[in-house]
Every structure is written in C-alpha cells, then in structure tokens.
Amino acid sequence: MDTSVTPASPTRRALPPLMRLTEVAADRLRTLYAKGQQGTLLRISLAPKGCSGLSYRMEFVPEAGPGDELVTDQGVSVLVDRKATLFLIGTVMDYEVKNLTSGFTFTNPNEKGRCGCGESFHV
C-alpha cells in the first residue's frame, strides 16, 4: 500500500478581464465600425501627457499589430497595446454624452490619481 501524499497544486485565481465595454460604449463602437470606420479596429494605448503622466490614446487601425491584445466584449472587438495592459487590467470603457461634449471614458481601478483638468492620470 502506497502511503505517499501527492502535494496539491496551488489553486490559481482567475484574472480579471483586461478590459470591459459598457453596452453604451459597445453600441457606439458598432455604429462607428458600421459607418466611417468599416474594416478597422479601435486601438487603445497609453501615452505620456499632462501633469500626471499618462493619458489614453485611441486610434483606428486596419489590423492588429504584433504588440496588440484583442479584447472582445459585448460582441465588439478593440485592440489594446501590449505595453499598456498592466496599467489597464480591469478597466471599464464607457461612452458618455453630456450637454457640450461626448466621448469614450475609462474607469480604471489602477489609477492612483488624476490631474485637476482630468486629462492625465498616474498609476
């Protein structure tokens, strides 16, 4: 009779999704993809900017590059620059319409602070 004990492998916790899209953001992207941006994908990256250090950068590109991660949520796909992934884990992308402005917004749980004008953030 074998009395040896096999050590249990550690249980791994599921990682949060890289990014999520609200239904409103997904609807807006569907509209953009169907109209003027047919055949492209929205690419999200971070760039140095402002007094806090980083800002979100978005551009439409014809295809994924070698450093892009594909994120699909709500039936819509976006690309995330691999260099930005550690800063964006768990981020929720939304689309807001206000009296004088409209645009995509990000709720990023990794942000430690924002500048006064809201243009940049730091982690």
Give the CATH number for residue 29.
Answer: 2.60.300.12
Tell me whether residue 81 is in a domain: yes
Tell me whether residue 6 is in a domain: no
Residue 39 CA to residue 61 CA, distance in Å, equals: 9
User: Whole-model pTM above 0.85?
Assistant: no
Tell me whether residue 27 is in a domain: yes
Tell me whether residue 4 is in a domain: no
Q: Which pLDDT score, from 0 to 100, does residue 115 have?
A: 58
Of the candidates 54, 32, 43, the one whose C-alpha atom is nearest the C-alpha of residue 102 is: 32
Residue 61 CA to residue 43 CA, distance in Å, equals: 7
Tell me whether residue 121 is in a domain: no
Q: Which residues, 6+ apart, have CB-to-CB distance to 99 below 8 Å?
A: none
pLDDT in tens, the chain (123 residues): 556 666 666 677 666 678 999 999 999 999 999 998 889 999 999 987 666 578 889 999 999 999 999 999 999 999 999 999 988 899 999 999 998 889 999 988 877 666 555 555 556
Total domains in the chain come to 1
Tokens of 32: 């953009």
Q: Which amino acid is at 122?
A: H
Q: Which pLDDT score, from 0 to 100, does residue 70 have?
A: 93
